[in-house]
Amino acid sequence: MKKIFVFGLLVFGMIFHISAQDKKQRKCTLNGYISYMNSNSFDSISNAWLIDNQLHNRLNFEYFPTEKFSFVAQLRTRFIYGNSVLLIPGYDDMIETETGYLHLNKNVLSEQNFLLNMNLDRLYIKYSTGKWDFQLGRQRINWGRTLVWNPNDIFNTYSYFDFDYEEKPGSDAVRIQYYTGAASSLEVAASVNYEERMTVAAKWLINKWNYDFQLILGEMEQRDYIAGFGWAGAIKNLGFRGEATYFNPIDNSDTTREASFSGTFSLDYTFSNSLNIMAQVLYTEIPKDNPLNNFATFYTSNLNAKYLSFTPWNIFGSIQYPITPLFNLSLAGMYYPEINGYFLNPGFDFSLSDNLMFSFIYQYFRGDFPNAITGITQKQQINFAFLRVKWNF
């Protein structure tokens, strides 16, 4: 596996030589960004803070040897230093956590106060001919239709809270698509995770009545049979999306697992002054093997399409408004009725120049959780504050 990782790094050593060629003769593209982010976390403003810093670089490389073939490699590099590295046991292991079969996420350096992590989260070849597309390697297979929670996203579920990872994780997979029309297709995909467990599924996408509908059948991680349904369209000028998936254990004799259902829908609207509002509701049955039991596990875990929350009902709302073309305000929130809990997420983006952006993001969680042993309800809260400067190239 190390050889594969080193090979990926060597690819980027060739990029800058190739990119010096005349633009008309180029068969490759390169873009990315560099950012610095300061993070502060605390349960109360009067208690001790965890203060961390991150330098983040991303390189997106694509090579076109022929009209039908392409090769994609994308590298995420993070230099993290601060209190979390020093004080949280196993923090370096958490950063290096790998969900795919190929271990392409490595801590190149890991010391007492800092670590350097390199993650080759895209590495695949693509072949296109006529109505067919074939992809092999680490890639993102995005079957979700909504923004926050995605029961249909069985290959590489992502966390809404991880705002700094805009590209979202990928999976080690083979993917075949056949386009039956301008807005319809048949798709089959198979992936292998770090446990050497396979996820295999087929998706049928059709367009009717100005709506995209999809049907999904397969099995996830060789643990559950799945059947899913999703849609995306509009009610007049109101965006209307949704998706749902039923999970049924393959091994009926396994008493640690049980069947569950997750369904969600969202509505969004953009006014003439560019004010955007959105609401989404999720209902998810909580199976006995759900690893999420509080905010901490919810925030830090690698989510799974079967385990999207720690409470059955989840309500989300957001509003965004560009005060000026350079200054954008946003406010998002979640409500968890069963624990009298909520999440607040105000923030703003300010464009310093065409390619340079300054952002402030705040995240606040609060909820009442019953103690599993005593049954006494305990309040849990945590604050995160982020300052980020990001340059795109």
Residue 372: band (very low, low, confident or very high) from pLDDT cuts 50, 70, 90: low
Instruction: Judge whether 334 lies within some domain.
Output: no
How many Cα atoms are found within 13 Å in the side-chain-facing hemisphere of 77?
A: 15
Note the pLDDT tens digit of each residue in 80-137. Answer: 999 999 999 999 999 999 889 999 999 999 999 999 999 999 999 999 999 999 999 9
Question: What pLDDT is attached to residue 252?
Answer: 87
Angle at 383 between CA 379 and CA 388, to 5 degrees: 165
Instruction: Judge whether 86 lies within some domain.
Output: yes
Question: What pLDDT is attached to residue 25?
Answer: 54
Instruction: Judge whether 349 lies within some domain.
Output: no
How large is the average pLDDT for residues 6-33?
A: 59
Instruction: Judge whether 354 lies within some domain.
Output: no
pTM, whole model, 2 decimals? 0.86
Count the domains in the chain: 1
Question: What pLDDT is attached to residue 297?
Answer: 74
**For residue 298, is pLDDT > 90?**
no
Instruction: Judge whether 83 lies within some domain.
Output: yes
Alpha-carbon distance 167 to 158, whole Å? Answer: 10
Please report, rounded to a whole number, the percentage of residues in the chain having pLDDT higher than 90.
81
Instruction: Judge whether 20 lies within some domain.
Output: yes
Instruction: Judge whether 6 lies within some domain.
Output: yes
Note the pLDDT tens digit of each residue in 195-247. Answer: 999 999 999 999 999 999 999 999 999 999 999 999 999 999 999 999 999 99
Domain that includes residue 106, residue range: 1-55+71-118
94 phi and psi angles, rounded to 5 deg: -65, -40
> How high does pLDDT run on average in the chain?
91
Task: Report which listed range, 2-16, 167-181, 246-260, is most confident.
Answer: 167-181
Helices (H) and strands (E) in the chain, counts: 4, 19
Instruction: Judge whether 361 lies within some domain.
Output: no
* The token pair that represents 385 in the structure block: 């504050």
Question: What pLDDT is attached to residue 18?
Answer: 45
Residue 23: band (very low, low, confident or very high) from pLDDT cuts 50, 70, 90: very low
Alpha-carbon distance 38 to 147, whole Å? Answer: 26
Neighbouring residues of 343: CB distance < 8 A, sequence distance ≥ 6: 333, 334, 363, 364, 365
Q: Name the residue with tokens 């790998």.
A: 98
Residue 4: band (very low, low, confident or very high) from pLDDT cuts 50, 70, 90: very low
